[in-house]
Structure 1
Amino acid sequence: MSASRTERLLNLLIALLNTRYGLRRSELRDKVYHDTSGNDVAFGRMFERDKNDLRQFGFEVETLTELGWSEDDPATTRYRIGKESNRLPDVQLDPEEWTVLLLASQLWERAALGSAAQSALRKLQATGRTSEVQLPAGLQPRIKPAGQAFDDLVNAMHAGRPVTFRYLAGSTGKEEQRTVEPWGLGSRFGQWYLVGFDRARQAARHFRLSRLTSAVSIMERERYSPPADFDVRQELDRLPELPLRSAVVNVREGRLLALRRRALESVPAAPAPALPGFDRLAIQYRDPEVLAEELASYGPDAVAAAPEELVAAVRRRLRAAADFSASQVPRYSFPSARPRTARPRTSEDQLKRMLQLVPFLVHNQGLHIQEVASRFGITRKELEDDLRILICSGLPEGYPDDLLDIQWENDHVFITQDLDLTRPVRFTVDEACALLTGLETLNGLPGIAEGGALESVTLKLLAAAGQEGLRAASLSGPRIGPADASTHSVVRQAIEGREQLHLRYLSPQRDKVTERDVDPLRLYSLDNTWYFEAYCHLVEGLRNFRLDRIQDVRPNGRPAAADITPGTGVPAKLFTPNDDDTTIILQLTRQGRGLADDYYAERTAELPDGGLVAEVRFGNTAWLPMFVAQHGGAARILAPAEVADAAQDWLDASLASYGG
């Protein structure tokens, strides 16, 4: 969509909104399109495309005909857009409800629905300010990004398109091609599941996203309709958890303290004797693929001995990682350096944003232009480009007073003519799902679920979302309650009271336990894995600590320093960049391209096969061979050469432990 087309669609929308009796196609052609070509067929196609675009933005174009005449006669057919049918109802929220809603909107972060959640929030903010709302001190729960497959499945599900992918069946251990009509996505037992209709088996089936062995392909030319009463939450609640089983693992002497903490006292028999220089441990697990991912990352320091299903899963991951690392390096080039966004911005994004911008400015007069840009997540230049298009838009052949009137003199933005764009468009399916699923996810968060604000804001949003809100039943988020509520409570109280903490902490990368005094700054999560950011006096810098790796934590009686602030950015980052970081060039497959967001890539280059080359900064490169092995063929290191060679040596040694 070019800039001129963006402006044309905006003018068409304003014209159809501001007519009581409707406008004939000839009037629109003359006054909005300024088309004098005389080609009725070409104009008709353009008009139908534009009507479809407006429908995608939430505006339904009504067709009115003269009594006794057919819609096929353009001379007697008129078009308009109802002022109420496409608008978001007013939603009045008190400060407690705004607090809950802001937490819910931040949950998705870089996940597929992150931009949809922010878009929905801006629509709600258009009718009132939220500056007085204070989020709970240092609390930032988030949903862990589920990778490119999740993004593709959400897009296919909301568009009603079937998908195909290769899948490793847990019951047979065989990899098969599947064609599925996706009905819903949900998280249970720490894993994301797709529920859908398997066309080959002619029945509903569950698919664990971690078992997809290929990218998801969307069948763009086909459509399907899910069951009208489908609710993925109810469906996954009936899903039995996998039984606990025991694996036998040979662990190098004196290594892998984190794995040893989980070992059982008795070790079942294994088909092969213990390896020299290794201890034989018994580790409980439910899903062999999850444990295989962990064991693959340990490389030659941990060798699975039983059961054979687990051994094969580790070997398959290591082989895939080794094959990918040894493959030919693709040709690529980075664009000029710039902060990376979740996806490239499009003209469709611009028009959608402008339709939110007008009502936002109407109800938030006089904001500084940089604050407006920050609210919409764009640069000042992008905002000024939007405003320049808006001030040239208005009623067809209207007077100056019939144009949108927006001024930003002295860097403060005012709007005095809005042309009936004062209320936001109703929620899209993505927006409704993002907020309502986020609210449902907050149910397990201490201090939030107990109040009545969560329930009341959910009911208000359900009423405002209408039909789109009902489709939120196709998504169900993970449980985000912390596994260790007592540790979570101690850290949160220390943040609120500005107290210093003393902790004993197990660092898997260094494979040792250290004692530290820290000034806690903020708590955040990825699903139910919780972290806290703190100033660590041992290393004299900001660090992130996983709560489940804390062996002991208590206030040490000293106050936290008042001049230490959290790292920049909301939400908190798992990795804090430093000047002495090493720049690593990674190649990621289409399945693994989400890792570029997870590790805050500074530059990326697209590859023809849907993958990426990403430039990422790491403070410690010693663990990168573990990273490559863990992701089993989804990531490789291209540069520096010594780091790539270290990863290849790690994979070779790991495969040698399994017979080469």
Structure 2
Amino acid sequence: MTNQADTAPDQVARLLALVPYLLARGEVRLDDAAAHFDTDAEQIERDLRLLFMTGLSPGLPGDLIEVDLDALEGDRVIRVDNADYLARPVRFSPAEATALVVALRTMVDTAPAEAREVIARTLAKLEEAAGQDGEELLRLHVTPTPLETSAVVPVLESAIAHGHQVEITYHVPSRDRQSTRVVDPRGLARVEDLLYLDAWCHTAGGDRAFRVDRILAATELDTPVADPGARARDLTGGWFTDAETTTVTLRLAPPARWVVEYYPVTGQRPGPDDTVDVDLEVASEEWVTSLLLRLAPHATLLAPDAYAESFTAAARAALSRYDDDGVDS
């Protein structure tokens, strides 16, 4: 049984699978449903109590999914009703189908080679399903915008081919800042669904891997790279570390779990009393302090100790301002 804390996408995915599963069986014991979805009975019960508050627009009583709470609480049996539309195949409206075709036609031109065949097959099936009703939809032609085609990629590829340095403007989310730096580009590598630039950074004085989608601007310079013979590192064999970042561990109570949805976390474990412990890679102690002040009192900094001392001092300073203003804290 899985004990890891759920994220919102986890719960949504399970809810979308749960309703057809229940409707196909008519009646399911709570423990059996929990075992099927590799979770515990308490989580399934929380899902069901959320489920009966959802349904078709405009959300009037007759529009909502019905869950037999008496059977759930008494016999621990699940019965749902008024949810047949979730068990039927989805029929796209013309507007929805058009949006999908536009997105897929854009993607097929800009996606990596290994993904283009899958996208093309999906696009063909959607266009076939549109049939005669989709004639206007099928005549759509989409010209990718510079943003969609990652305008910096041709600049980086040209600099790599010519052995030239590149000036990039880079956004660092963990600091919420952008910086301009000169780098010696070595190569581009795809890691999972992201494209990275492997380079020697003259600002940091070391090897760096820059996410291409965070490079806001790139200019190829006339100056040659310092080491023309340097080869690109293999970034595809696993995650790589960045010497500018520090691993921070936070313990989050339920009101603070939005952090997991909003920021990329590198580790996640269940903690005591329905909390979750998460690891984040951060590049600024000040950013961590600011985040903790926003989350207080629903988050605890577990590591590193030096950051905990800094946050304690900042919290005391903030409280002292209330005291100075005559406010009862």
Q: TM-score range by the shorter chain?
A: 0.5 to 0.7
Separation of aligned partners in 1, 2:219 and 2:149: 12
- State the secondary structure of the residue aligned to 1:587: strand
Q: Distance in 2 between matches of 1:461 and 1:639?
A: 50
- Match 2:154 to one of 485, 489, 513: 489
Unmatched segments (≥5 aa) in structure 1: 2-146, 166-176, 182-195, 205-218, 240-436, 463-478
Are residues 163 and 153 of structure 1, via their aligned partners in 2, closer, same or farther at CA, if it must alter by over 3 Å? farther
Whether the 8 Å CA contact 2:166–2:185 is kept in 1: the answer is no
Decide whether the 8 Å contact of 2:170 with 2:214 is kept in 1.
no
How far apart are the structure 2 equivalents of 1:199 and 1:547?
A: 39
Give the AA of the match of 1:538. Answer: T
Counterpart pick for 2:53 among 179, 189, 193: 179
Alignment partners' CA distance in 1, 2:286 and 2:146: 32
Residue 621 (1) aligns with residue 285 (2): yes
- Contact residue 169 and residue 215 of structure 2 kept, 8 A: yes
Q: Does 1:543 align with 2:206?
A: no
Quote the residue 2:220 is aligned against: 554
Number of residue pairs aligned between Structure 1 and Structure 2 = 253
Contact 1:596 1:614 in 2 (8 A): no
1:600 corresponds to which residue?
266
Where do 5+ consecutive residues of structure 2 fail to align? 23-46, 65-75, 127-143
Q: Aligned letter for 2:249?
A: I
Pick closer, same or farther for the CA change 1:486–1:507 going to 2, 3 Å: closer
Q: Which residue of 2 aligns with 1:521?
A: 187
- Match for 2:251: what amino acid? Q
The one of the two structures with greater contact order (alpha-carbon pairs below 8 A, sep at least 6) is 1
SS in 2 for 1:644: helix
Which whole-Å CA distance do the structure 2 matches of 1:198 and 1:634 have between them? 35
| 2:251 match | 587
67, 72, 84: which one aligns with 1:225: 84
Q: Secondary structure at the match of 2:301?
A: strand
Displacement after TM superposition at 1:544 (Å) = 2.0
The answer on whether the counterparts of 2:156 and 2:166 sit within 8 Å (CA) in structure 1 is: no
Match of 1:444 in 2: 107
CA distance in 2, matches of 1:233, 1:625: 47
User: In the alignment, what sits opposite 2:235?
Assistant: 567
Q: Structure 1 length as normaliser, TM-score?
A: 0.30
The answer to whether 1:149 aligns with 2:23 is no
2 CA distance for matches of 1:616 and 1:231? 40
The alpha carbon displacement at 1:621 in A equals: 3.2
Q: Distance in 2 between matches of 1:201 and 1:480?
A: 44
Residue 150 of structure 1 and its aligned partner are, at CA, apart by 0.9
Q: Equivalent pairs: percent with the same residue?
A: 13
| Alpha-carbon spacing, 1:452–1:515, altered in 2? closer, same or farther (3 Å) | closer
Question: Structure 1 residues 486, 627: closer, same or farther in 2, change over 3 A?
Answer: same
1:233/1:606 CA distance change after superposition, 3 Å: farther
2-side partners of 1:631 and 1:232: how far apart? 40
Looking at structure 1, the residues matched to 17 and 146 of structure 2 have their Cα atoms a distance apart, in angstroms, of: 28
Instruction: Name the CA distance, whole Å, in 1 between partners of 2:116 and 2:242.
Output: 40
Residue 155 (structure 1) shift: 1.0
Cα deviation, residue 230, structure 1: 2.9
Instruction: Quote how far apart the aligned CAs of 1:553 are.
Output: 1.9
Distance 1:633 1:569 in 2: 39
Pick closer, same or farther for the CA change 1:442–1:492 going to 2, 3 Å.
farther
Mapped contact 1:600–1:616 kept (Cα < 8 A): yes
CA–CA distance in structure 2, aligned partners of residues 627 and 444 of structure 1: 35
Q: Assess, with a 3 A threshold, how the Cα gap between structure 1 residues 455 and 531 changes in structure 2: closer, same or farther.
A: closer
Q: Which moved more, 1:227-236 or 1:608-617?
A: 227-236
1:225 partner amino acid: D
SS at match of 2:78: coil
Change (3 A) 1:565 1:548: closer
Task: Describe the shift of the 1:481–1:448 C-alpha distance in structure 2 as closer, same or farther (beyond 3 A).
Answer: farther
**Contact 1:506 1:513 survives alignment (8 Å):** yes
- Could you tell me how far apart the structure 1 residues matched to 2:286 and 2:312 are? 13
Q: SS state of the match for residue 488, structure 1?
A: helix
Give the match's secondary structure for 2:84. coil
Q: How does 1:337-486 map to 2 (within 5 A)?
A: 443-444=106-107, 446-448=109-111, 453-454=117-118, 456-458=120-122, 482=147, 485-486=150-151
AA aligned opposite 1:567: L
* Residue 587 of structure 1: how far off its partner (Å): 0.8
Q: Give the whole-Å Cα distance in 1 for the aligned partners of 2:294 and 2:146.
A: 26
* Amino acid aligned to 2:78: R
Instruction: State how far apart, in whole Å, the 1-side matches of 2:297 and 2:97 are.
Output: 33
> What is the aligned partner in structure 2 of residue 503 from structure 1?
167
Is the contact made by 1:178 and 1:200 (CA closer than 8 Å) also made in structure 2? no
Per-residue CA deviations over 1:497-547 (Å, capped at 9, x if unaligned) read: 3744421425563856433123153366999x9764433233212232554
**C-alpha contact (below 8 Å) 2:185/2:197 kept by paired residues:** no
* Alpha-carbon spacing, 1:624–1:158, altered in 2? closer, same or farther (3 Å): same
Equivalent-residue separation in structure 2 for 1:156 and 1:148 (angstroms): 13
Q: CA 1:638/1:442 → structure 2, altered by over 3 Å: closer, same or farther?
A: farther
Residues 404-444 of structure 1, C-alpha deviation per residue, up to 9 Å, x if partnerless?
xxxxxxxxxxxxxxxxxxxxxxxxxxxxxxxxx9xx76843
**Compared with structure 1, are the counterparts of its residues 455 and 553 closer, same or farther at alpha carbon in structure 2 (3 Å cutoff)?**
same
Matched with 1:349 is none
| Equivalent position amino acid for 2:10 in 1 | D
Q: CA RMSD in A?
A: 5.4
Contact 1:588 1:612 (8 Å CA) reproduced: yes
Larger helix proportion of the pair: 2
